[in-house]
Structures are given as C-alpha cells and as structure tokens.
Amino acid sequence: MNGQGRSDPDSGDGLTLAHLSDPHLPLPAPVPWQSVLNKRALSLLSWHRKRRHHHRPEILTALVADLEAHHPDLIAVTGDLTNLGLAQEYRAARLWLDRLGDPARVTVIPGNHEALIAGAWEAGAPEWGPYWQGDGAPLGAGLPDAFPALRRRGDLALISLSSAIATAPALACGAVGAAQLARLGPMLRAARNAGLCRVLMIHHPPLDGTVSPRKALRDGAALRALLQAEGVELVLHGHSHRSHHQTLDTRDGTAPVIGVPSASSRHPEAAAYHLYHIRRMTGGWEIDVTARRLGPADEMEPALCTRLTLPRAHADCAPL
Ligand SMILES: [Fe+2]
C-alpha cells in the first residue's frame, strides 16, 4: 500500500487518519519449542485452541484492501500485531507493515502481545523501528526513551505511547510508567502551543472499566489526570477487540476516546477500522468519523458516520 494519501498535509483541507488495531497476524510455523518454555506456552495453547480460528488472514486482507481504497493520508496501528512476541513474528509483521505503507505514513505502537515475556519487545522493537520512531529520532535510535514519540503531519501531532509490559501468566495488563508520563506533559503542552491537533495512540484503553482488571492499564488514573491537566483532542486505542466511544473532559475541552475492534476477527465483534478526517475550523477542530466493518457477506461495509466538533481555543493559533 505504498503511495501518497489523498491530501496535501499543508493545504488546509485537513488529513485523513485510518486507525486499525490488534491484527494478530498468523503465527509462523514451526514455533521453536525452546521459545515457549514460559508464559508463551499458555498463549500458544490458546492460539491453537481458539485464537487461530478467530484471527483470519483473509479478513485482514479484505480490511486492508478496503482501507487502501479510501486512500488515508496516515495509518495508525495500535498494537498486538503478534501473538507470542517471537522474533519470527516481528519479522513477519515487518513485512506486513511494509506492504501497508511507507513508515512516514504508518505509525505503529506495541501491544501486550509484543511484550508477552520480559525482553520480547526490547528484542523485537528494532525490526519495526522506522514505524514507531518519532520525528527527528536519530537513525537506529532505540528504547527505552523512545516513547512518547511525536510525529507531526500537517496540523496533526500524532503522539504514541507504549503500554506494553511483560506480566504474569493470564494477565494482559499494561502500564505507561512514570518516565513516559513525565515526558508526555511537556509534549502535549508544546503541541497545544504550536496550534496542533493532538491525537494520542495507546494500546490499552485509558478509561476505567473498559476492560476487566486483568487486562487494564495499571496507571490509567495517572494518565487520565495528565490528559485532563494538559489537554488532548482525540485518543485512539485497541486491546479490547470491541468498539468503544467514550469521552474524557480536559482543560481544553472534551476529548473523544475511541477504541476499534480487531482488524482480523469476527469475535467478539466484526473486524473494523476507523477513518478520521480532521480539519481545522475557526475556534476548534472538526472530525468526520467513519467506521467500516466486516459485514455478513464478508464485504466491508459502513457502520457509522458521524461528525465530532471539538471547540479548542488553540486551534485559532497559527501553527508554528
Ligand atoms: Fe492487547
């Protein structure tokens, strides 16, 4: 899916951002037995018993083809591309990302499956480096200080957080951590002062009660407090494999917090992706949201079309 999107980021017509999540690409075979003598054993069992029947490559292919036909300027992928966080999976996911689009256009963050065991994300992250590094990151720059990462595209500040942490078996929690939170505040402030629309990407839902405690963001309260204090325009997440449309009140106004189902499954909801056409207007931002999901006849179909109006004083500042 290489090639240019439909808009000129500097034209003032706005940008279209596509959001998909949790594709859980097929597990490469065979899985080396030495690599699953840990928490991965349970996940491998779950993959063979259940998940491989749900996450189907043909569904993901249909979804990406439909997304491609809408020519988004940018594509956000909010994690869980892998299942066990194996090196082979990182390599396969890199090839999938390369087909999805140029790294300047596609931004990826890790999910809990990328960090299924300690060290898995750190080992695999370089494979995806061009897709998660922020603007101005030195070539080959790595973890642990890479997040939050900021990419500016036109009037957009696309800010990525990593909530991927290794947890005990049967847990799928996440955490942002104090270091990322300490850097996020000044980043949000600077983006507001620059007159930009701040879109935050995170794998785990940041609002309480969206998922069960065993899957939740452990420092969600701290993240919410920070977002309320610094402001944000739009928050995008995955992880639950369900649609969520919630809001968070911030100092700058109400921010939509929107989750998207898995891009490759019918369970627990049909595969879907979202399109956000974001444009500056006097006194705020206007966002046209289109959800497209897999229909009963295996064709992607429109599921929702709505316009969000976000009053924001800083939208009237000339972008720096
Ligand atoms: Fe997840």
**pLDDT digit string, tens, across residues 246-265:** 999 999 999 999 999 999 99
82 CA distance to ligand 1 middle (Å): 10
pLDDT of residue 47: 82
pLDDT of residue 6: 55
163 CA distance to ligand 1 middle (Å): 10
299 CA distance to ligand 1 middle (Å): 25
211 CA distance to ligand 1 middle (Å): 10
How far is the C-alpha of 159 from the C-alpha of 235, rounded, in Å?
9
pLDDT of residue 32: 75
205 CA distance to ligand 1 middle (Å): 10
pLDDT of residue 7: 58
108: part of which helix (H) or strand (E)?
A: strand 106-108
The pair phi, psi for residue 148, each rounded to 5°, is -70, 145
**pLDDT digit string, tens, across residues 167-224:** 988 899 999 999 999 999 999 999 999 999 999 999 999 999 999 999 999 999 999 9
203 CA distance to ligand 1 middle (Å): 7
Contact of 74 with 160, CB cutoff 8 Å: no
316: part of which helix (H) or strand (E)?
A: none
Q: What is residue 10's DSSP assignment?
A: T
Ordered DSSP codes for 149-164: EEEEETTEEEEE---B
Domains in the chain, CATH or no CATH each: 15-137+144-316 (3.60.21.10)
Find how far residue 3's CA is from the centre of its chain.
Answer: 21
22 CA distance to ligand 1 middle (Å): 7
Task: Report, as an integer, the average pLDDT of 271-299.
Answer: 96
170 CA distance to ligand 1 middle (Å): 12
